[in-house]
A and B are shown apart, each in its own frame.
Chain A
């Protein structure tokens, strides 16, 4: 039965889910800091990334040890390889939260645009929802739920485009233009977090089907996963 192996595998997967929770906390913190232009909270988000990084390294080491000592095969191998990818995607999502927090600090002295902030809140909310769906469908090995990320990705892309469009109409004042340009980067970071969530969903599909296929191909966006 390989009890200790199963236990190590379960612990690693729990650790990946914990890492996901940490990233979600960081994301919520970054969005709140943005809404309130709260520099202290932004600093906390930046410092909190060390915790995500520690979790990332711990999972990397755990996977290395598991591969070297337990030689997993079949579904166990797929799970271990998928966790290797998911770990990296989550860590990257955490890095985007840090970038958002840094942009909040950079724009602290600039006046924001309430309508645009609302647009960013929408992008942020969608990024959070996508991460939650990605983590839950991974835990449940739920292929249908994972595939739903494609549709959610279209929504977050559209919300991101709206932010860019709003910034273009912001006007000619240098301070407002600077603020707007930095907010385009914030929106882009949030949209990229959504992309990483889709990548996590693809890893769920890999575990379930044994085949690795991208849900959508960026160079052929109309070619979606058919089954």
Chain B
């Protein structure tokens, strides 16, 4: 079941360096929300705070809260591994296990996460995940072939299949199409429009037009003064951000006059 994601006064540090500060907004469930902003404003770090991957970096820490639905994911008794199972992530560069088969790449997440299954069920889960990721028809006859033989765009959709195979509630995407050609990029964008029927999606992108195309909601972050942490400038419906933003900095950024 998809849930909304509420960020409450969220901040993050790497040692003494504060990446971003006091970010509060709610990502609505079953929608695509884009986080845009210039390099170094902390948007990827923010994404990694939503599935507790920020804390695996040495000396990294956070402040404030992140709620998945009603649950605070940084609560005292919350297992970070269970958070990462519920909040899947797709990275900038497709990162399948290249020598492992297409089938095993999808099955790996299910097995690693200890999802109980019978043999036939695993086949069904792999197939439905590949179908949801829009890859099934292209790979159904070569499931035992190495994932490294797939094109970049196919590999990225394989990673999406792996991420959704464990039935997460939220899908995080960190510039998922930035390493892909235009056609593969459009396929990923179409896929997001389909996946949002089932999942809450948060995407970080450097490509403003991509945010405009795929996101229902958009958050604009920036660094107001050099050396300062990134801050949330504006969060609104995407059409508002790109037609009539409420803040001059947002306007300057989306029109290409700054950043």
Question: A-side interface residues toward B, CB under 8 Å?
Answer: 1-5, 64-65, 68-71
Contact = CB atoms under 8 A, between A and B. Distances in A.
Contact of B242 (A1, A4, A68): A68
Interface of B: 186-187, 189-190, 193, 209, 212-214, 238-239, 242-243
A-B interface, 6 closest residue pairs, ranked by CB to CB distance from nearest: A69-B212, A68-B242, A65-B239, A4-B193, A68-B243, A3-B190
Contacts, number: 31
Given A70-B212, A70-B213, A71-B209, A3 B243 contact: no
A1 B238 CA distance: 21
A68 B213 CA distance: 9
Contacts of B212: 68-71
A5 B189 CA distance: 11
19 contacts: A1-B186, A1-B187, A2-B186, A2-B189, A2-B190, A2-B213, A4-B213, A64-B239, A64-B243, A65-B243, A68-B239, A68-B242, A69-B213, A69-B238, A69-B239, A69-B242, A70-B212, A70-B213, A71-B212
Nearest to A69: B212
Nearest to A5: B213
A4 B193 CA distance: 7
A151 B172 CA distance: 59
A68 B186 CA distance: 17
A65 B243 CA distance: 7
Contacts of B187: 1
Nearest to B211: A69
A4 B212 CA distance: 12
A203 B190 CA distance: 30
A3 B189 CA distance: 9
B239 A3 contact: no
Main DSSP-derived SS at the B contact region: helix
A64 B213 CA distance: 13
Nearest to B183: A1
A68 B187 CA distance: 20
Contact of A3 (B193, B238, B242): B193
A65 B187 CA distance: 21
B129 to A, nearest CB: 20
Contacts of B193: 3-4
Nearest to A64: B243
Nearest to A65: B239
B33 to A, nearest CB: 15
Nearest to A66: B239
A2 B209 CA distance: 13
Contact of A4 (B190, B209, B238): B190
Given A1-B190, A68-B242, A69-B239, 7 more contacts: A4-B190, A4-B214, A5-B213, A64-B243, A65-B243, A68-B212, A68-B243
A84 B212 CA distance: 21
A2 B190 CA distance: 6
A65 B239 CA distance: 6
A68 B212 CA distance: 7
A71 B187 CA distance: 17
B226 to A, nearest CB: 30
A145 to B, nearest CB: 34
A212 B62 CA distance: 58
Contacts of B214: 4
Contacts of B239: 64-65, 68-69
A4 B195 CA distance: 13
A3 B214 CA distance: 11
A68 B243 CA distance: 6
Contacts of A2: 186, 189-190, 213
Contacts of B189: 2
A70 B210 CA distance: 9
A3 to B, nearest CB: 5
B36 to A, nearest CB: 13
Nearest to B212: A69
Contacts of A1: 186-187, 190
A85 to B, nearest CB: 20
A60 to B, nearest CB: 11
The winner among A1, A68, A70 for most chain B CB atoms within 10 A is A68
Contacts of B213: 2, 4-5, 69-70
A71 B238 CA distance: 14
A50 B193 CA distance: 34
